[in-house]
Amino acid sequence: MAPKENTPQDIAKAVKAALVSELHIDPALHPVEVRIVDGSVLIEGTVEKIAQKKRALLFAMGLEGVPGVIDRLRVRPAARMTDDEIREHVVTALSSESALKGLSIEPEVNGGVVDLEGEVWSLSHKRLAGALAWWVPGSVDVINSIEVVPPEADSDEEVSDAVRLILEKDRLVDASSLRVFTRGWVVTLDGVVASEESRDAAEDDAWFTWGVNDVVNNIKVDAASKHELP
């Protein structure tokens, strides 16, 4: 007997169940709507962490019978800001970053969602620009539409290099104490940091990196250690 195909109702129920059981999203605090639109799964709402957003989308994409996912999930902003304020902060962050000097990147902001357009020389530049936009306190999502000219072949090594670069730029993270390894677009973080805040910031940075499909956070917290790798 052929296996039963998932109906749209089955798919929506599976995604909703995963939001609670696997991603630990409290539906009372963070109600997320899941429905089927023209065969695609639409996920809409606000979650607490970037990891929850990305994992929810990847789970839905992996379900049998799902031709596409419409992403309307947003991450709760660290501060309330108008679109103009967010854009101003993004422009300042991009123009102040020495690694991006001479590059033309134009941010547009709508409802807290930052859309980055423009051209850069490498995938690492594209990924760094995306992280800088995510770091703006009012950002609820970042669409990284930046083109790499000329096109560059992507790889796990390139992802690791970009994550290391982003960690080095983050003032909340001691990048010298961390190792980054990527396989199949899954980033693994190892090392020691002084606080849970730093551990969480490092994981967020990996998730903020364009193209990352999952993050394994093996970082240990030890306030007494020197946090330096051998």
Q: Report in angstroms the alpha-carbon separations of 150 from 21, 36, 66, 140, 144.
A: 43, 38, 33, 30, 17
- What percent of the chain lies above the pLDDT cut of 90? 72
Structural tokens at position 96:
């102040």
Q: What is the sign of the dihedral through the CA atoms of 14, 15, 17 and 21?
A: positive
Ramachandran quadrant class, 212 (left: phi over 0; alpha: psi -120 to 50; beta: rest): beta
pLDDT higher for 96 or 63? 96
Q: Could you identify the residue written with the tokens 């306030």?
A: 223
Distances (CA, A) of 186 to 56, 86, 118, 144, 182: 15, 30, 27, 19, 5
Write the burial class of residue 139 (CB in 10 Å: 0-12 exposed, 13-18 middle, 19+ buried): buried
Residue-level pLDDT at 203: 98
The CA distance from 148 to 112, in Å, is: 25
Contact indicator for 24, 182 with CB cutoff of 8 Å = no
**How far is 129 from 143, CA to CA, in rounded Å?**
11
Classified as helix, coil or strand, 25 is coil
Give the number of other Cβ atoms within 10 Å of residue 76's Cβ.
12
Distance from chain centroid for Cα 224: 30
* Interval 87-114: pLDDT, tens: 999 999 999 999 999 898 999 999 999 9
The arithmetic mean of pLDDT across residues 172-201, rounded, is: 95
Q: Which domains does the chain have, with CATH numbers?
A: 8-75 (3.30.1340.30), 83-148 (3.30.1340.30), 167-221 (3.30.1340)
pLDDT in tens, 156-181: 999 999 999 999 999 999 999 999 99
* Overall pTM surpassing 0.95 (yes/no): no
Phi, psi angles (nearest 5°) of residue 26: -75, 115
Q: What does the block give as tokens for 18?
A: 């995963």
In this structure, are residues 114 and 129 in contact, taking their beta carbons and an 8 Å threshold?
no
Residue 230: the pLDDT is 47
CB-CB contact of 136 with 108 (8 Å): no
pLDDT tens digits, 14-60: 888 888 888 888 888 888 999 988 888 899 999 999 999 999 998 88
Task: State how far the Cα of 47 lies from the Cα of 142, in Å rounded to an integer.
Answer: 14
8 Å CB contact between 138 and 79 = yes
Q: Around Cβ 74, how many Cβ atoms within 10 Å?
A: 17
User: Confidence class of residue 212 from pLDDT cuts 50, 70 and 90?
Assistant: very high
Length of the chain (residues): 230
